[in-house]
Structure 1
């Protein structure tokens, strides 16, 4: 459950900069969990944009990579492209929330499916970014995604990075 608004505005390019970790689940239209995942994200700031590399590991052992290039358009508007996004993603920030929508082509059971994601990212009171997404095909709901994204914990002193 998303906690009450934090009072701080979401600046996507600031939140996504650096190393992040995520965990989430995909639910079918009846609310049953069909798949869970963890992800490692790395955000690199560019002039008027941020590049975000996502590395997913699913509970069935499958892996997936996605690289976003998200343009900061000003006035809370963003536009993004990624390797499997069919056109462009577009979104706008409203306080601590970003509404983000895009068509994407994903392989499901070895076959390509063109789906539409309608994401809502919301900062919660713990510093996490909560993503709830409605997933549809031809306008009909096929499921939802729930994901929690957090800054990666800093390495302990003397601990080597992988």
Structure 2
């Protein structure tokens, strides 16, 4: 009986150690330093555009899909990015980012559902954006660590992958596709 408990404890410690190792092995933004095109956040996120996305849980199962309308403008080094999310289950939610360019590809930002200040860094065609997001689930508000990675493909298209974690454990992944060249600038309301 005692041997069985020691084996369980050993497996648990091994699992935690491997999880911590995997979490600590993230890509360094400078890896993309000399990769074109140079992702100019102020230029790309300016004006009206649309994006599509999905949320996958820890097992990679798609749990929600959505469309988002974005409207952005900049006054020198300060920008506003208003987002309207239309989820496939009928929910509509809003977020307005107040962004500040701090020089050398560095940005900070605040939003109504973000705890504290978000920070971001651009390098080459990539942009990493990190923040803590408050998410209401039933009658409780939970805080999740968000690690956004955006990659500019060309002048019109950007892919975004976001890891959503709680206590260092990834609980979901969000994928978005932005298309600034798309003629359609509004999400179509689902018909059923």
Q: Give the TM-score normalised by structure 2.
A: 0.74
> What is aligned with 2:117?
88
5+ residue gaps, structure 1, are: 156-162
Matched, 1:37 2:37: no
Q: Deviations over 1:89-115 (max 9, x none)?
A: 101111010011000101123431100
Q: 1:29-51 CA distances to partner (integer Å, 9 max, x unpaired)?
A: 11000001001000011221210
Deviation at 1:150, TM superposition (A): 1.7
Q: Which residue of 2 aligns with 1:160?
A: none
Q: Is the 8 A contact 2:134 2:141 kept in 1?
A: yes
**Count of paired positions:** 151
Question: If each structure's helix is expressed as a fraction of its own residues, which one has the higher value?
Answer: 2
| Counterpart position of 1:150 | 179
CA distance in 1, matches of 2:56, 2:139: 19
**In 2, Cα distance between equivalents of 1:39 and 1:70:** 18
State which structure, 1 or 2, has the greater radius of gyration over its C-alpha atoms: 2
- List runs of 5+ in structure 2 lacking aligned partners: 1-33, 185-192
Counterpart in the other structure of 1:101: 130
Q: C-alpha deviations, 1:75-131, integer Å up to 9, x for none? A: 000001111000111011110100110001011234311001000000014721111
Aligned to 2:17: none
145-154 vs 82-91, which deviates more? Answer: 145-154
Note closer, same or farther for the CA distance 1:23–1:6 as it changes in structure 2 (3 Å cut): farther
Mapping 1:13-162, distance limit 5 Å: 13-125=42-154, 127-151=156-180, 153-154=182-183
Work out the CA distance in 2 between the residues paired with 1:112 and 1:82.
16
Other structure's SS at 1:54 match: strand
